[in-house]
Amino acid sequence: MKTTAFPSHWIFLAYLVLTFYCLGAAVMNEFVEYQSWADLGSYLSAADFAAWHVATAQHTMPFLTVPAVLLSVVLLLLCWQRPPAIPRLALWLALACHVLFWASTVLVQWPLEGALGQGQFSPDLMERLLRSDWVRKVLLLLEAPVAVYMAHRVLRPVRGDASPHILLPVQGAPSNACASA
């Protein structure tokens, strides 16, 4: 069984998976980590909160930050290896979401989290962190339909053809042939 998969389709698949993973991880981060900080922060001393913040925040790195960086890298790769079915405008919209996401992360979220990590907890600071984090989630929520639209474009048949744009292997097909599924 031989497959003839275009690199752009694998890149797009990685983009699609990472987009929805990052959206889910961002929402979970809000309801698990940030809400627990908001709920328990006022009961802890500044030093205890800072230690707790640093201990819990380091666990988000492999599950939220690294996939978000990978998603941005994959999106940039997708800009260079764009499947023909994906309109450039859709990629530009997704890229704009990422630029704004990272601007919010670097300019707003990280400084607020830095203050929390130094023991500067206050209900006002926590409220600003929670509100500003919704900017990032809204950007991911805006990007999700764009990703679905791109997936629809990649997977839909071309001009009445019954096959999608992605070539899949067919078991029992000659080794030099690929059939469309």
CA distance 67 to 18: 7
* 25 and 18 Cβ atoms separated by less than 8 Å: no
Question: What pLDDT is attached to residue 159?
Answer: 59
What tens digit of pLDDT does each residue of 102-149 get? Answer: 999 999 999 999 999 898 989 999 999 999 999 999 999 999 999 999
Residue 162 in this model has a pLDDT that exceeds 90: no
Residue 18 in this model has a pLDDT that exceeds 80: yes
Residue 16 in this model has a pLDDT that exceeds 70: yes
* 16 and 155 Cβ atoms separated by less than 8 Å: no
What tens digit of pLDDT does each residue of 64-77 get? Answer: 999 999 999 999 99
Q: Residue range 13-42: average pLDDT?
A: 91
**What is the DSSP code (8-state) at residue 42?**
G
Banded pLDDT at 176 (limits 50, 70, 90): very low
Q: Residue range 26-46: average pLDDT?
A: 88
Token couple for 162: 């019954």
Tell me the whole-structure pTM to 2 decimals.
0.79
Question: What pLDDT is attached to residue 37?
Answer: 87
CA distance 103 to 95: 12
What tens digit of pLDDT does each residue of 43-57 get? Answer: 888 889 888 888 888
User: Rounded to a whole number, what is the distance in angstroms from the first to the last CA of the chain?
Assistant: 14
Radius of gyration of the chain (CA): 21
179: helix, coil or strand? strand
Question: What pLDDT is attached to residue 181?
Answer: 40
